[in-house]
Amino acid sequence: MDFFNKAMEQAKQLQQLATDALQKSVEQAQPLVKDAVAKAQELQRTLVDQTPQVTAAAQKHYNAALDHAGAMIATGKTVLEASTAQAHQHMQTLADQAAKAADATRAAVHEATKPPEPPQQP
């Protein structure tokens, strides 16, 4: 259960960092974007470590969380390398991908922790 709490906390922190960065100027957002990219990488590692132990139903949510975290990392790196005008254009995408990664992580944890359904009686 510790893994699930860790993944949920990482997802929450990632989403908050990206939201905070979106509300700042590009220059002020740079440290937040760096932190968000690091948090997304941490979330990816946490999810990858647990992927073999999850049910098939939870697997699609894990894959979605990994995909969104990867897109968020790529966007974050683009923001960090871009000029001010270009970086500002990517900030909304960064925040959107962070939110999607957090939502998919919550769905994965929910699916992975729900009790199995009893077999159907004929």
pLDDT per position as a tens digit, 6-52: 888 888 887 888 888 877 777 788 888 888 888 889 888 888 887 67
Cα(29)–Cα(26) distance, integer angstroms: 5
- Whether 122 is in a domain gets the answer no
pLDDT tens digits, one per residue of 51-101: 677 777 778 888 888 888 888 888 888 888 877 777 777 888 888 888 888
- Report how many domains make up the chain: 1
Q: Is residue 119 part of a domain?
A: no
In a domain, 121, yes or no: no
